[in-house]
Structure 1
Amino acid sequence: MTPTRIETKDKTNNPSRVAMVTGAGGAMGAAIARSLLAEGHRVVLADADRTALDAATASLGDGAYPILFDLSDSAQVKAACADVRERVGAVEILVNNAGVLSNHKLAETTPEEWRKIMAVNLDGPYHLSREWAPSMRERRWGRIINMCSVAMKTGGLTAGTAYTASKGALGGLTFSLARELAPHGVTVNAIAPAYVKTKMITEQLTEEQRQQTLKQIPVGRFCEPEEIAHAVVFLSSPLAGFITGELLDINGGLHLD
């Protein structure tokens, strides 16, 4: 699989920043992209699922630049980023949103599944951060926002071993990059959502699991994708420049610390 450029006509009027959102074909990624577009940014939509990416692009309209590539393949990431530089410009707001969920606990987690989940959930953000951090440093402005999970703090209530471990490692990457890049005007933060209304809830949990989970969430409902998007917009704004190395919990009171 090689990176595939998907052309769209740019009708925007010089938005202020270039953002990249991975997993843009999903409900949460599309909501984040939509909110960033509303702020006037140009948004690169990254996904490995052509059908989902086409649908998101059609719904978002002008200012969205879709590109199809596999996050877990470093060669594809490099080629895709070169394409983005040529076609849109250097990414200044990177939202590492893409993720693969597994509910398998240790005994059911095969080495192949472990590697697949780590490749997307951890290696992907590493590859993309490595691609875009240098130009952010040169500009002395940048935002990297990683999508972690409440699973990293709870040990995974319904999430499996590999997923939980991958999100914990992503939190560690967030802290490391935050300390490294802070002197250069680049902030690195993470969001730890719990039970957002995406396919992870609607398709990968049984109805019994959904009802049991709802009983544990003090606010009594699941999170809307737009609520995550609102937090991303704030963390990517100029007024969030003094916030770095932060892990923002959005879990309806499910986990308090």
Structure 2
Amino acid sequence: MELQDKTALVTGAGGGIGRAVVTALAAEGAQVIALDRDADALDALCADVGPNCSAAVADLSDGPGLQALAADLLGKHGRIDILVNNAGILTPHKLAGITLEDWHALMSVNLDAAMLLTQAVVPGMKDAGWGRVINMASYAWKSGGLTAGTAYSVSKAALVGLTYSTARELTGTGITANAIAPAYVVSPMIMNQLSDEDRARQLAAIPVGRFCEPEEVAHTVRFLASPLAGFMTGLTIDMNGGLQFG
């Protein structure tokens, strides 16, 4: 119960990775605010997790609305100790097919929301002298995207840049900022976007011979959130089953 006096905010909590992260942090004693746009998914999640889980419904593409919600949450909870920017949307469109409208819509969720929430919670973390910012990147950030589209790959590369910039700026404050870059996690967002042929091809290319499980990603989040990870900041932890080393 390393996190029993901490409050965590997890975005994209209704998805496969998000559910696993909320469950893992709550199991360590954290009070977890599960944020998603799907109210029914949040209700089911909090019913499963129990009293350590509370729901916050929000559209992450609405920047001003998200800022207002963050202010409300901070007013209610005092501060957010652990921020997990997990939410993301995926598009398969490559360079020639992406429109500016689609680009902006994806960036608003995958990148802008992470910046706005980090901006909102950092002052309280500074006051406490302790905090964890954990951003969910993707193997796509350095592979250029295999089945993911251009905008998604760029958004995840930018999220890594935000992670590094945040870590550098906050060095010495007791706040760490790190990213996790999974590849092909067993979740609806990934599995539903891949054809049978894509799944077979990618599975054959992964040296460990399987896709990543959401609980494995959640375990890495739990580690980065723990007090014993305080010497680790400005890192991107690869979880790609040996697809790429270094």
- If the length of structure 1 is used for normalisation, what is the TM-score? 0.92
**Residue 214 of structure 1 is aligned with which of 203, 225, 229?**
203
**Alpha-carbon distance, 1:89 to partner:** 3.0
CA deviation map 1:144-172 (0-9, x unaligned): 00000000111101110000000000000
**Residue 161 of structure 1 is aligned with which of 131, 150, 164?**
150
**Alpha-carbon distance, 1:241 to partner:** 0.4
**Residue 137 of structure 1 is aligned with which of 94, 106, 126?**
126
Determine the structure 1 residue equivalent to 2:35.
46
**Residue 178 of structure 2 is aligned with which of 185, 189, 193?**
189
Distance in 2, matches of 1:42 and 1:53, equals 15
Determine the structure 1 residue equivalent to 2:56.
67
CA deviation map 1:44-85 (0-9, x unaligned): 000112222222222222111100011122221122122212
CA deviation map 1:182-225 (0-9, x unaligned): 12110000000000000123211111100000010000100000
The residue matched to 1:100 in structure 2 has which SS?
coil
The residue matched to 1:106 in structure 2 has which SS?
coil
Identity of aligned residues (%): 53
Determine the structure 2 residue equivalent to 1:252.
241
RMSD (Å), alpha carbons: 1.2
Gaps of 5+ in 2: none
Distance in 2, matches of 1:221 and 1:96, equals 25
Kindly provide the amino acid, as one letter, of the partner of residue 165 in structure 1.
V
2:71 and 2:120 in contact (8 A); partners too: no
1:16 matched to 2:5? The reply is yes
Written as runs of structure 1 = structure 2, the 5 A alignment for 1:87-236 is 87-236=76-225
The number of aligned residues is 244
Structure 1 segments of 4 or more deviating over 6 A?
none
Determine the structure 2 residue equivalent to 1:56.
45
Gaps of 5+ in 1: 1-13
Distance in 1, matches of 2:76 and 2:161, equals 32
Kindly provide the amino acid, as one letter, of the partner of residue 149 in structure 2.
G
Kindly provide the amino acid, as one letter, of the partner of residue 175 in structure 1.
Y
Determine the structure 2 residue equivalent to 1:29.
18
Distance in 1, matches of 2:49 and 2:138, equals 26
The residue matched to 1:16 in structure 2 has which SS?
coil
CA deviation map 1:10-69 (0-9, x unaligned): xxxx93100000000011001000000010000000011222222222222211110001
Distance in 2, matches of 1:202 and 1:55, equals 21
1:18 and 1:89 in contact (8 A); partners too: no
1:28 and 1:228 in contact (8 A); partners too: yes
Kindly provide the amino acid, as one letter, of the partner of residue 38 in structure 1.
A
Distance in 2, matches of 1:147 and 1:238, equals 20
1:96 and 1:145 in contact (8 A); partners too: yes
Determine the structure 1 residue equivalent to 2:68.
79
1:238 matched to 2:204? The reply is no
- If the length of structure 2 is used for normalisation, what is the TM-score? 0.96
Greater shift after overlay, 144-153 or 85-94? 85-94
Distance in 1, matches of 2:78 and 2:47, equals 22
Distance in 1, matches of 2:75 and 2:121, equals 14
The residue matched to 1:107 in structure 2 has which SS?
coil
Kindly provide the amino acid, as one letter, of the partner of residue 96 in structure 2.
A
